[in-house]
Chains A and B, each alone.
Chain A
Amino acid sequence: MDPETLASLTTLLRQMGEGTLSTLLIFALTLLFSLPLGLLISFGRRSKYKIVSIPMRFYILIMRGTPLMLQLFFVFYGLNPLFGIQPQRMQAAVIAFVLNYAAYFAEIYRGGIESIPEGQYEAGKVLGFTRGQTFFHIVLPQVIKRILPPMGNEFITLVKDTSLAQVIAVQELMHVTEKFASSDVSTVPFFVAAVFYLVMNGVVTRCFTVAEKKFAYYR
């Protein structure tokens, strides 16, 4: 390999590495906020008060029913004319991802919560647990076990969905890849990107396999 090719390859890898960091940042921040937010939304969606549950249903409908790309555009370009707030690119991406993924997570939580038999709540109640204790110590651990497979799907999808942030010019992995591919007129960046995404999702998959094993001690 001649020194020039080597140098350009190093630059490519370094910049794609930086793009990967942005990708990971979106990934991590999205999970950090959308996992708890999703739980709150699922509570709201399950509320017996229509004034709470109907807006939550509407929220979930909008978030799941419109393209994530559109939501990214909206947060980045739409907030300023409407509310006079102009988020930075990265902020806008994280906000859009959090709001979108929270809706999906809410439905996964809801499915999990509704699969736990009523008897578990009743046992908690007659033993004197408060509703909060019953939920967090008895129900939620069982919910987590049951929702691991669909959560694994969502996490993997999220790794790949981060590439959508390029539409508002966040310098994440796909954005960097495309830039190099067009400037170098080369397909190499595509293959490198594929490997990067695969490695990330390999790690995610591995984590979920370990987690499922950890919860396999009971049925």
Chain B
Amino acid sequence: MSKEMVSAQNIRKSFGGQPVLKGISCSVHQGEVLAIIGPSGSGKSTLLRCITQLEQIDGGSITICGEELAREEDGKAVYADRKTCVRIGLHLGLVFQNFNLFPHFSVLRNITEAPVRVLKKSRGEAEETARALLKKMGLSDKESAYPCQLSGGQQQRVSIARALAMSPDILFFDEPTSALDPELTGEILRVIRELAAEHMTMVVVTHEMKFARDVADRVIFMDGGVIVEQGNAEEVFGNTQNERLKTFLARYNEG
């Protein structure tokens, strides 16, 4: 089996006493595309935010690229020191639902700012990388535009380029098409498909069932803060025996 990039064991997370993740264990392997599906409020986004350190877990352990981010001690999660956490964070890229581009920077600067400031690359080198990424995203003519001048789909492609510019080992997507008009979702899904073809390791939280079925190597179905079912796409979508998953999928098939 290929290298394990993310290993999460028994993750627990509550918000104000309300448990949102009730003991999640999952792993991501190098080169695979993992889709996380499930109804709203099932904890999918929270899981992603815990792995990308936007939230702190209450209990459980997380290991990323062989480095321990948090381990369990006496039923509580204990995080690594700050430096280690930052270093681990650099293995990961995250694409947000609402893009979260920096509105005061041009498209090019949005992509180069982190490589220059965080990775200490020269501006020239960072711009070269950024232009190559923009070309890949089909946005070569937009490098001096500002985010507010772009469509949602274009903004999301810029934010993917921004994440890729940091050369992450794993790229996470938090409902990357949910803020987009239906006719714009296609361009984002196409980009993710291309990255999958290049064997980029990716974790995609999505409501696009057809996309998950086509692109994902593995699918996790979450409901009520637990993983209800997981397996390859065929197992999950094709012949699940799980009633909750069946009901969930049936709703999508109706629509």
Contacts and interface: CB of A to CB of B under 8 A. Distances in A.
Interface of A: 117, 119-120, 122-123, 125-129, 133, 137-138, 141-142, 145, 217-219
A166 B96 CA distance: 56
Given A123-B101, A126-B163, A128-B118, 14 more contacts: A117-B100, A120-B100, A122-B54, A126-B52, A127-B162, A127-B163, A127-B166, A128-B86, A129-B114, A129-B117, A133-B117, A137-B117, A138-B102, A218-B103
Interface string B114-125: 100111000000
Nearest to A142: B104
A142 B100 CA distance: 13
Interface residues of B, number: 27
A125 B52 CA distance: 9
A137 B114 contact: no
B102 A120 contact: yes
A126 to B, nearest CB: 4
Contacts of A138: 102
Which residue among A125, A127, A142, A219 has the maximum number of chain B CB atoms within 10 Å of its CB? A127
A128 B103 contact: no
Interface string B64-90: 000000000000000000000010011
B164 to A, nearest CB: 11
20 contacts: A119-B98, A119-B100, A120-B100, A125-B53, A125-B89, A126-B53, A126-B93, A126-B94, A126-B163, A127-B114, A127-B118, A127-B162, A129-B118, A137-B113, A137-B117, A142-B103, A145-B104, A217-B146, A218-B146, A219-B103
Nearest to A133: B117
Contacts of B59: none
Interface string B149-170: 0000000000000110010000
Nearest to B90: A128
Contacts of A122: 54, 96, 100
Question: 3 smallest A-B Cβ distances: which pairs?
Answer: A119-B100, A127-B114, A123-B100
A11 B89 CA distance: 70
B118 A125 contact: no
Contacts of A129: 114, 117-118
